[in-house]
Amino acid sequence: MNSKRIRLGLWFIQITCSSAFRDELEGDLFEIYERNCSKKSRNVGQWLFLWNAFTSFRFYRIHKFKNSNSTNMFSNYLLVTIRHSRRHKIFSFVNIFSLVIGLFTCFCIALFIKGEMSYDNFHEKGNDLYRLVVHDEKNETLSAKMSTHLSKLLRQSFPQVAVCSFGNDDIRIEHKGQSIISEGFYWTDSTFFDVFSFKLINGDRNALKDKNRILISESLSERLYGHTNVVGELLPLKIYDGDITLNMVIGGVVQDPPSNSHIQFEILGPMPKAQEIYKDLVELQGFYWLSSYALIHKTTLPLIQESHAAEFNKRRPENSNSQSLYFQPLSKAYLYSADINGWTSLGSITNVRLFAAIGALILLISIFNYINLSTTRLLTRKKEVGLRKSIGAQPLSIVQQIMTESIIYCLLSAIIALGLLYVLTPQLNTLISLNLNMKSVGLLDLAFVGGAVLAIALSSGLYPAFVLAKTRTGNQPDKYETPKGSLDTSKILLFFQYIATILLIACSLIVYTQYKYMRNYNLGVRTDNLVNLAVNDKAVQQKIPALKNSLLAIEGISAITATGETFPGRMQNTWNYSWPGMGEKGQVIDIVGVDKEYFDVLNIQFVSGSNFTREYVQDSAKSVILNRAAKELTEKNDLVGSKVTIGGSNREVIGVVENYHMQSLHHQIQPTAYFVAPTGARISPDNLLIRLNIEALSKTIRAIENTWGDFSSEPLAFSFVDDDLARQYTSESRFMYTLQIFTGIAILVALTGLFGLITFQTRQRFKEISIRKALGAGYNHLLLYLSSGFLKLYLLASLFGLPMAFYFGLNWLQEYPIRISLDVGIFIAALSIGLIASLTVVISQVRRAIRINPANVLKE
Amino acid sequence: MKGTNIGEFEELVLLVVGILKGKAYGVNVMDHIKEESNRSVSVSTVHSALNRLEDKGFVESYFGGQSELRGGRKKRMYRITPYGIATLQEARLQRENLWSQLLTVIPE
């Protein structure tokens, strides 16, 4: 009798309506159906039945969960968890707090590592991209830069490989009467878009094939014109080293390189133009200026490495036969280039590993905290567990209960930690400049975090769960009896926490001491109130003597010297160096052009001999001043008066100066030769070092600007030497601050754990303490008695932690030529910081326990 | 126990259940409401009202006999409880009290 419509209606009722209401509903619907059938028609009745069935849906009639045992028990676990966390507010707080901090730190570090690992991963052909690194087998050095000669040879030897080279140059943009200095100018090849996946916003992909067209970045275009619709605009560029102004046409606008690209640029110019401008320079085989990248298919790489490398070796010039090519995968260019010269902005895989280790350490400390606290706390719940067992709970269900609790705590902490991370990312970025980016977090990461948190929850709940499940509670369910072995476990965990904390404290102390040592180190020169003024314009460089005289007339300037290198700065020019009676081995020496005032202005001491004099200036091609390192190379007692050969010409040594540092202490002092060079020579001065009087500083600087304006139309580019020197330690200070913050967090977490543990243990021992007091134990005696256990553990842990710190510290210090010696003082300091912190916690809690009135406790 | 307040539709249903003298069930309550107040309500609306009234303790239900007319399904019958009657009376008293006050204000 039932048609399809009726059956559909009944089926809907069956799935949406609980059996308690089904008969009533179905019966009433059938009654209405029969009535409709007799009044109207069977067909209409059936349709109305279906309609009524669907509209009969009510929430109160939905199937209720079958009240099975497991769901009932689960809701009971939930309830008990909430009640317990309310009753023991301190412990719940300590538990969640330390987990939140640990997870938060871990998430931070994971985010940082994710950012570092994501470098250069946006290129579509990323797996086939390589950076070309020149390996010099004789000097055992790797260099990311190569000469034009080498790069040409490469293209000839590997015809089927797309190569793209970048050559940095100093330029100034002349735009609407403004002068803008751009640091991101590169000469590059027209293969740019074939090799890389940078996006062209508008313009011509092949613009760089034309000698007069350039590509500019989106942000530069916005800055200059306010929009990106600039193809065809004329942009005059002043090329400093070529001493030429070019009227270039904008051929295209490129999207800004993503921040996780190690190649960053603002303007790209055509390589053929560079070869035209620097005709002589690019022919020099020793002029290393190009960073080259190649697109090589995976399958052809071995072939290229073998056969074409042989071809390359055959063709390469005689004097470079110790050089070979090394193909570095682009994905490794950012993190794995610490040993490659000629690349400045680089991440370091050491830092990534270090942070990963610190993150793991802090997470471990907070997990141990959790295990310790929940185990000890759960021991007070033996009554509950005993009751559960006596009414039939199996050990498994006890494990389930405790696991449920653990998961609830961990998930809650993870959610709080993620929320904190989300809110605090901007502050964190300014505080420790880790460049965290929450936007890069995807669903996959969240799923991973969820899985990890679950794993933490299970692993940290496992131990307390099994301790309780195995405890026999049968006879005396209300007695707080420590199960055998559990206190030992909590002691072992505390021990590891101590080791980790001491290790971190000692390490950050070592880093701090080294940093302070470097910053306060005597460089051998006076750098106070010293200003470095760069003269980039070749035309102005010719007029340096006149400029010097005009500047000296300014009241606030006490001394000026012209030099060929910036201060602080790297020596850029080297020559061959030989002396009578030297061995076979060739030596090189840094050369720098100076003037007579140089050593006086910088307050550099003479070891022997004397400064250039006026007569020597006349005869500048014949004389040279060396530094102590250059003298020591010759292993002679005194060089003054003897001849040395530098760059093929004989010169008389007129003086030897004390070693001094031209740049940060990461670099060793190199043998250096000082010349007086005529203007226009390779090493002629292009820099002024000016010592100012500290009074009326702003007035002096205004006067300098005025004088500068008489000589040059360039903007004045000057900086204080002290500031620049400090900037060279940025990576150290960043590392130091980050390490200090993490150490602080680790101490905080460990102390919270200690606090929880000691509060709990002394509370359990109230009765014992009361009896001891009643029997006449003194305050000091009790204090020592109660805290000695923790003290012993701490000292034992330091026996492990401090040697580890010594080992790591020694390794880290290897990087620095100027370094502290690891003396006992640092370790004693580390030991006492940890000791004072943990003693404060222990004693404050123990004192509270001792102060209790025995009568109140013993009455119970 | 849920609140003891009673809504307008609930009051209507409760009255009808009382009138039907223990013979009330979904369909005839629906029919009666239609006759008396000319309101067209679905049987499920009546069901949920009855369900709420039962939760509040104003009516009680029991199963009546099966019948072929109902596809073999049992009938759930409702009857009013003494508490339900008391609540109705209280509601009526309240109304009358308010009415008498209103009559002194508006001229007849």
Give me the phi and psi of A164, to 5 degrees please. -130, 125
A206 or A441: whose pLDDT is higher? A206
| Residue B63 with chain A: CB contacts under 8 Å | 23
Q: How far apart are the first and last CA of chain A?
A: 77
Question: Is the pLDDT score of A480 beyond 50?
Answer: no
Distance CA A488, CA A804 (A): 24
Encode pLDDT of A739-775 as tens digits.
888 889 888 888 888 888 888 778 778 888 888 888 8
Alpha-carbon distance B66 to nearest alpha carbon in chain A (angstroms): 9
Cα–Cα–Cα angle for A167, A173, A179, nearest 5°?
140
CA distance A60 to B53: 13
Q: How far is A50 from chain B (nearest CA, A)?
A: 13
Nearest to A570 by CA among A728, A339, A735, A336: A728
pLDDT, tens digit (0-9, with 9 covering 90-100), for A105-150: 888 888 888 888 888 888 888 888 888 888 776 666 777 888 787 7
The whole-number pLDDT of residue A182 equals: 83
A477 or A384, higher pLDDT: A384
**Most A CBs within 10 Å, among B69, B77, B78, to test the A interface:** B69
Q: Could you give the CA distance from residue A514 to residue A811 in angstroms, rounded to a whole number? A: 13
In this complex, which of B42, B69, B74 lies closest to A23 when CB atoms are compared?
B74
CB–CB contact A32 B43 (8 Å): yes
Say yes or no to pLDDT of A632 above 90: no
The shortest C-alpha distance from B71 to chain A (Å) reads 6
Q: Identify which of A30, A55, A57 has the shortest CB distance to residue B73.
A: A30
Best-predicted range by mean pLDDT (A43-47, A89-93, A423-427): A43-47
Give Cα A413 distance to the centre of its chain.
25
What share of chain A in percent tops pLDDT 70?
90
Mean pLDDT for the stretch of residues A12-38? 86
* Residues sharing a CB contact under 8 Å with residue A770, sequence separation 6 or more, in sequence order: A852, A854, A857, A858
Q: What residues of chain A lie within 8 A of the CB of B41, using their CB?
A: none
Set of chain B residues whose Cβ sits within 8 Å of the Cβ of A21: 47, 51
Concatenated DSSP letters of A656-718: EE----SS-TTSPPPPEEEEE--TTSTT---EEEEEEPSTTHHHHHHHHHHHHHHH-SSPP-E
- Are A346 and A144 within 8 A, CB to CB? no
Flag whether pLDDT at A316 surpasses 70.
Answer: no
- Record: contact A31-B69, CB cut-off 8 A: yes
Asked if residues A20 and A51 have their Cβ atoms less than 8 Å apart, the reply is: no
Per the DSSP assignment, residues forming a β-bridge with A655 are: A609, A625
**Chain centroid offset of residue A149 CA:** 37
Nearest CA in chain A to B26: A28
Q: What is the pLDDT of residue B1?
A: 38
Chain A residues closer than 8 Å to B26 by CB: 24-25, 27-28
How confident is residue A472, by pLDDT bands cut at 50, 70 and 90?
low
**Per-residue pLDDT for A319 more than 70?**
no
Summarize pLDDT for B28-45 with one digit per residue, the tens. 899 999 988 888 888 889
Q: Please indicate whether, in this complex, the C-beta atoms of B43 and A56 are within 8 angstroms of each other.
A: yes
How confident is the model over A550-563, as pLDDT tens digits?
888 888 888 888 88
Cβ–Cβ contacts within 10 Å for residue B86, how many? 11
Cβ–Cβ < 8 Å for B14, B88: yes
Average pLDDT over residues A623-648: 83
For residue B75, which residues of chain A lie inside 8 Å, CB to CB?
Answer: 24, 27
Query: Does residue A137 belong to the interface with chain B, where contact is any CB pair within 8 Å?
Result: no
Pair A766, A856: CB distance under 8 Å: no
Average model confidence (pLDDT) across chain A: 82
> Are A29 and B43 inside 8 Å of each other by CB?
yes
Q: How far is B92 from chain A (nearest CA, A)?
A: 30
Q: Is A740 left (phi over 0), alpha (psi -120 to 50) or beta?
A: alpha
**Top-confidence residue, A731 or A248:** A248
**What is the rounded (10 degree) CA torsion for A340, A341, A346, A349?**
30
A636 is written with which tokens?
């002679």
Cβ contact (<8 Å) for B44 and A30? no
Higher pLDDT, A372 or A470: A372
Interatomic CA distance for residues A258 and A142, integer angstroms: 27
Rounded Cα distance, A518 and A528, in Å: 16
**pLDDT at B2 > cutoff 50:** no
- What is the pLDDT, as a whole number, of residue A286? 65
Kindly write down the DSSP assignment for every residue of A755-817, as one continuous string.
Answer: HHHHHHHHHHTHHHHHHHHHTT--HHHHHHHHHHHHHHHHHHHHHHHHHHHHHHHHHHHTT-S
- What does the pLDDT look like over A161-192, one tens digit per residue? 888 998 888 888 888 877 888 888 999 998 89
Check A31 against B51: CB less than 8 A apart: no
Report the length, in residues, of chain B.
108
Contact between chains at A28 and B42 (C-beta distance less than 8 A): no
How far is A75 from chain B, CA to nearest CA, in Å? 22
Inter-chain residue contact B27 with A24, CB threshold 8 Å:
no
The two tokens of residue A375 are 């185990």
A-chain CB neighbours of B24 within 8 Å are none
Q: Do B42 and A26 touch (CB under 8 A)?
A: no
- CA-only gyration radius of chain B, Å: 16
Q: Which of B41, B44, B63 to mutate to test the interface with A (most CBs of A within 10 A)?
A: B44
Neighboring chain A residues of B76 at a CB cutoff of 8 Å = 23-24, 27
Mark yes or no for CB contact B42/A52 under 8 Å. Answer: yes
Interface mutation target, options A23, A28, A64, chain B, most CBs of B under 10 Å: A28
ipTM of the complex: 0.88
Length of chain A: 860
Q: Which residue has the higher pLDDT, A332 or A432?
A: A332
CB pair distance less than 8 Å for B76 and A34: no
Run of H or E including B52: helix B43-56
CB–CB of B47 and A34 under 8 A?
no
Helix H, strand E, coil C: the string for A374-397 is HHHHHHCCHHHHHHHHHCCCCHHH
Nearest CB to B47; choose among A25, A31, A34: A25
Q: What is the pLDDT of residue A214?
A: 92
Residues of chain A with C-beta less than 8 angstroms from the C-beta of B44 = 25, 52, 55-58
SS3 A590: strand
Please give the Cα distance from A114 to A439 (Å, whole number): 12
Other residues' Cβ atoms within 10 Å of the Cβ of residue A652: 15
> Cβ distance A433 to A734 under 8 Å?
yes
- Nearest residue on chain A to B45, judged by CA atoms? A56
Question: Residue A606: beta bridge partners?
Answer: A657
A21-30, A529-538, A793-802, B66-75: the lowest-pLDDT one:
B66-75
**A850, HSE (Cβ side, Cα atoms, 13 Å):** 18
Checking if the pLDDT of A584 tops 70, the result is no
Which pLDDT band holds residue A291 (cuts at 50, 70, 90)? confident
pLDDT exceeding 90 applies to what percent of chain B? 33
Q: Which residues contact A794 (CB under 8 A, 6 or more apart)?
A: A498, A834, A835, A838
Residue A436 is classified by DSSP as: -
- What's the sign of the alpha-carbon dihedral A825, A826, A827, A833? positive
* DSSP designation for A827: H
CB contact under 8 A, B73 and A27: yes
The answer to whether A606 and A599 are in contact (CB under 8 A) is: yes
For residue A725, which amino acid is it?
Answer: L
Facing residue for B74 by CB, picked from A27, A58, A60? A27
